[in-house]
Structure 1
Amino acid sequence: MSFVLIGRPRPHVTQITLNRPERMNAMAFDVMVPFREALEEVGRDNDTRVVVVTGAGRGFCSGADLESPGRIPGIEGLTVSTIALRSMELLDDVITAMRRLHQPVIAAVNGPAIGGGLCLSLAADIRLAAEGAYFRAAGINNGLTASELGLSYLLPRAIGSSRAFEIMLSGRDVDAAEAERIGLVSRAVPGGKLLDECCDLAERIAGFSRPGVELTKRMLWSGLDAGSLAAHMDHEGLGQLYVRLTTRNFEEAIEARKQNRPPVFGD
């Protein structure tokens, strides 16, 4: 059985599905290693313009698998302490691999996103949730810290510091309606329409200029880390000039509007 599935639901859209529904797609290493490899494979696929990540069955990802964690590759001869470090590095790599992708990543949160599953959703660029989905920073409930896999970095940037502190310290569930209200997800939709909504959005994004989309993704993440407005505006200006001066996309957009047709960006 393959724990990670790769499909092409629409032109230029690749869907990666965590496929261990009997364990709510928990983050066993048998799942996360092929998931990281799938991200790398899709990142090299120049026909893929947008990536949709979701989970099989009724859950998105239930976080760490405490009963059947799977085997960590390349740990022969290592001590427990070093194995623990390797395991965290592997999971960290999954989060950063999603961020590193040239293509925008849409998380189709079809069900519970718990602990590491919440982190996985936050590593995506855009999140849509089924109405029955919910989110939980579960570490605090298990006697650990709620902060893992970049959660204390990503969550405040998504919803603001006060809400992030409250959610992470209380360990409570955030349902899809609240997630939409506080900006954790772009919108909540009926479960049966979730993938179609994500693919519709992905198709719209894929219709724009490739460098325009990829640079916009980079600039958005860069803006969250920027030390000052002035420094970030310099980066934005260079990106805009790069696309403007090295393509005829702007001219095509103007001509398309005159002719009342969709633009065809040749980059």
Structure 2
Amino acid sequence: MSAVDTYEHLHIELRGGVAWVTLNRPERLNALNPRLIAELNAYFSGLHARSEARVVVLRGAGRAFCAGLDLKDMQAGGAKKGVTDYLEVQKNVRDIMLAMRRCPQPVISIVQGAASGGGFALALASDIRLLTPDARMNAAFIRLGLSGCDVGVSYFLPRLAGASVASEFLLTGRFMDAQRALSLGLASRVDELPALEAEAAALAADMMAATPLGLRLTKEALAFAIDAPSLEAAIAMEDRNQVLCTQGEDFAEGIAAFLEKRAPRYGRKGEAS
């Protein structure tokens, strides 16, 4: 992961605990160049349980979410890269998806226009996907002389949509439109961009009504449940999380707020240590 001092291609706005993170290379359809890759890595790997941001909304500036790796930028790099160089590029991109899954903050993606290759992976690595009617997602890798399985897509897609659907799109590189994504359960909602921004804000507000610990452990448990070897293993994780949540002051505040029919007032000191 490359550290960055300032963000050039990411615009980050914190609104009351919700970070609105915008990929900001609209002239290149927010394609991933080395700088944007480094900035995404730095941002998501820098999130932790006590970060000011408790929820992240990820979106793209302009008419696309993310067109994948910036191939023109790669070609402009000059000398042909060897295995070691390409492996470094590969790891830098895939580390974004790992950081998105490992960070405790839920990630809501608003996908408009193209989400190809690495852009598709960014959408799949998110916890919730909201799509505009013109959204089109594909695993573009296989159309570029590569394998269709790249940067986590072959992990996420079959788990989210099933093996047959994953095979259909990874073996062909076909585009998935918004309605197909909605029918497969890959998208929570399809609507125009202003409505999706309002929905993202509403979802984030509902998440902010949970305790910081409860929200974090829910994302963690969902991730583990996907790969749980048995029902018993998933329930064991749930049991552990519920007991942990009872140990902080936020649990008592949540009960009191519910009984008094008021909004809870949670504080970070209420997290279990």
TM-score by length of 1: 0.90
Q: Given the alignment of the two structures, is residue 59 of structure 1 paired with residue 60 of structure 2, yes or no? A: no
Amino acid at match of 2:70: D
Structure 2: distance between partners of 1:33 and 1:253: 39
Give aligned pairs, total.
Answer: 260
Structure 2: distance between partners of 1:137 and 1:173: 8
Contact persistence 1:29–1:70 (CA under 8 A): no
1:23 deviation in Å? Answer: 0.9
Corresponding residue for 1:237?
A: 239
Corresponding residue for 1:94?
A: 96
Corresponding residue for 1:110?
A: 112
Q: Given the alignment of the two structures, is residue 40 of structure 1 paired with residue 70 of structure 2, yes or no? A: no
Structure 2: distance between partners of 1:218 and 1:224: 10
Contact persistence 1:27–1:65 (CA under 8 A): yes
* 1:30-179 to 2 correspondences below 5 Å: 30-43=35-48, 46-69=51-74, 80-179=82-181
Structure 1: distance between partners of 2:75 and 2:216: 35
Contact persistence 2:49–2:104 (CA under 8 A): no
Structure 1: distance between partners of 2:47 and 2:196: 22
1:111 deviation in Å? Answer: 2.0
Corresponding residue for 1:193?
A: 195
Amino acid at match of 2:261: N
Q: Given the alignment of the two structures, is residue 247 of structure 1 paired with residue 252 of structure 2, yes or no? A: no
Amino acid at match of 1:168: L
Corresponding residue for 1:221?
A: 223
Corresponding residue for 2:3?
A: none
Identity of aligned residues (%): 38
Structure 2: distance between partners of 1:128 and 1:212: 23
Structure 2: distance between partners of 1:252 and 1:168: 47
Measured against aligned partners, the alpha-carbon deviations of 1:83-131 in whole angstroms (never above 9, x if no partner) come to: 1111111111111111111111111112210111101111111111112
RMSD, matched Cα: 2.2
1:61 deviation in Å? Answer: 0.6
Amino acid at match of 2:127: D
Relative to structure 2, which stretch is displaced further, 254-263 or 152-161? 254-263
1:233 deviation in Å? Answer: 1.3
Corresponding residue for 1:76?
A: none
Unaligned runs of 5+ in 2: 1-6
Contact persistence 1:14–1:42 (CA under 8 A): no
Corresponding residue for 2:22?
A: 17
Structure 1: distance between partners of 2:265 and 2:35: 42
Contact persistence 1:20–1:56 (CA under 8 A): yes
Structure 1: distance between partners of 2:50 and 2:248: 22
Structure 1: distance between partners of 2:48 and 2:66: 22
Q: Given the alignment of the two structures, is residue 5 of structure 1 paired with residue 11 of structure 2, yes or no? A: yes
Unaligned runs of 5+ in 1: 73-78
Structure 2: distance between partners of 1:24 and 1:45: 33
Measured against aligned partners, the alpha-carbon deviations of 1:148-191 in whole angstroms (never above 9, x if no partner) come to: 00111111111111111112223221111111111111111212
TM-score by length of 2: 0.88
Corresponding residue for 1:261?
A: 262
Amino acid at match of 2:102: R
1:265 deviation in Å? Answer: 3.5
Q: Given the alignment of the two structures, is residue 29 of structure 1 paired with residue 34 of structure 2, yes or no? A: yes
Structure 2: distance between partners of 1:33 and 1:43: 18
1:39 deviation in Å? Answer: 2.0
Contact persistence 1:6–1:38 (CA under 8 A): no
